[in-house]
A = this chain, B = another copy of it.
Amino acid sequence: MKELFPLVSADIALFSLVDGQLAVLLGKRSNVPGRGQWALPGGVLDPDADKSLEATARRILRTKMAVDVPVLEQVMTVSGPKRDPRGYSISTVFYALLPCDQVSAVAGDKTSEVKWAAVATLKDKLAFDHNTLLDAATLSLRDKVKRRILPLHLLPEKFTLTDVQNACKSILGRELDKASFRRQIKDEPSLVELPGEFLRGPQRPAQLYSRAPSFNFASTREYR
Residues of A at under 8 Å CB distance from B? 2-6, 8, 45, 47, 51-53, 74, 76-81, 88, 90, 92, 139, 146, 220, 223-224
Closest to A93 in B: B77
The complex places the Cα of A45 from the Cα of B5 at a distance, in Å, of: 11
Known contacts A5-B4, A6-B8, A146-B223; is-contact A47 B77 (Cβ 8 Å): no
Q: Enumerate chain B residues within 8 angstroms of A92, measured Cβ to Cβ.
A: 77, 79
Tell me the smallest distance from the CB of A149 to a CB of chain B, in Å. Answer: 14
The complex places the Cα of A45 from the Cα of B2 at a distance, in Å, of: 19
A76 near B74 (CB under 8 angstroms)? yes
Tell me the smallest distance from the CB of A118 to a CB of chain B, in Å. Answer: 23
Tell me the smallest distance from the CB of A7 to a CB of chain B, in Å. Answer: 10
Contact of A80 among B52, B77, B80, B224 (CB under 8 A): B52
Of the candidates A3, A45, A88, A223, the one having the most CB atoms from chain B within 10 angstroms of its own CB is: A88
Known contacts A45-B6, A223-B146; is-contact A90 B90 (Cβ 8 Å): yes
The complex places the Cα of A80 from the Cα of B74 at a distance, in Å, of: 15
B5 near A51 (CB under 8 angstroms)? no
Q: Enumerate chain B residues within 8 angstroms of A53, measured Cβ to Cβ.
A: 77, 79, 90
